[in-house]
Amino acid sequence: MITRYTLKLLGLLFVSSMATFSHVSQASPQTMIVAGGCFWCVESDFESVQGVSDVVSGYTGGHTENPTYRQVSSKKTGHFEAVMIHFDDDIVSLAALADYYWKTIDPTDAEGQFCDKGSPYKTAMFYQDDHQKAVFDASLAKVKKTKPFKDTIVTEILPSKTFYPAEEYHQSYYKKNPIRYAFYRTSCGRDNRIESLWGEVESHQDH
């Protein structure tokens, strides 16, 4: 016989299980948006990190809706080349990804990154809520204290705007066109500059 007590107990168990499910669903899939110059390179760097499930190249921070690569490259849209990183924070934390980000860029360049100059190629971290802002601010404060170089860090921490995925041919470019990608990255001097700043190329390490 199902008593009133049994029904009450079942109700409590249901609420408890829903709370647990809610916690799990909130704790695992997360996104982080950053700009670090050429999005092909940023995508490649972050997809090497354990716990990152996908990295999408795109555009954000500007005023033009649904921009094309050609429009962004004109440097008139206000958009950054950026990436949206999808990750499981049960495996890798937002703080760890933020700390890793600094080691993949030149945060001292206010004009762009490496051989790419102009507003689309500047660096930035885009926070999507107060928690992300706090994590990014803390990571920036830490790297300012521990950086092995004297130059000032100019990378901005900005509120996120609409993120527009880039054209399909830009997605996973380093996988689709490995020879062209390797030539571009080498000729642009990205890894040489990162090594001169940080002492090693972090994205080439095991994660």
Q: Percent of the chain scored above 70 by pLDDT?
A: 85
Asked if residue 33 is part of any domain, the answer here is yes
Task: Return the CATH number at 120.
Answer: 3.30.1060.10
Whether 38 sits among the annotated catalytic residues: the reply is yes
Query: In 3-state terms, what secondary structure has residue 68?
Result: coil
Mean pLDDT of 168-173: 98
Q: What is the pLDDT of residues 79-94, one digit of tens each?
A: 999 999 999 999 999 9
Q: In total, how many domains does the chain have?
A: 1
Indicate the average pLDDT of the chain.
88
Please state, in angstroms and rounded to a whole number, the distance separating the CA atoms of residues 75 and 70: 9
CA atoms within 13 A on the CB side of 93: 8
- 100 domain residue, yes or no: yes
Q: Is residue 13 part of a domain?
A: no
Whether residue 103 lies inside any domain: the answer is: yes
CA 42 from chain center: how many Å? Answer: 8
Domain presence at residue 37: yes
Residue 15 lies in a domain: no
1 in any annotated domain:
no
Please tell me which residue in 38, 41, 115, 188 is annotated as part of the active site: 38
Mean pLDDT of 103-126: 98
Is residue 206, in this structure, part of any structural domain at all? Answer: no
For 135-144, the CB contacts below 8 A with 24+ separation are: 135/94, 135/95, 135/98, 136/98, 138/95, 139/95, 139/98, 139/99, 139/101, 139/102, 142/99, 143/99, 143/102, 143/107
79 CB-near residues (< 8 Å, 6+ apart): 59, 60, 61, 62, 64, 67, 72, 120, 164
Stretch 19-41: mean pLDDT: 72
Q: Say whether 87 sits in a helix, a strand or coil.
A: strand
**Cβ neighbours of 42 (radius 10 Å):** 25
Q: Give the domain range for residue 152.
A: 28-201
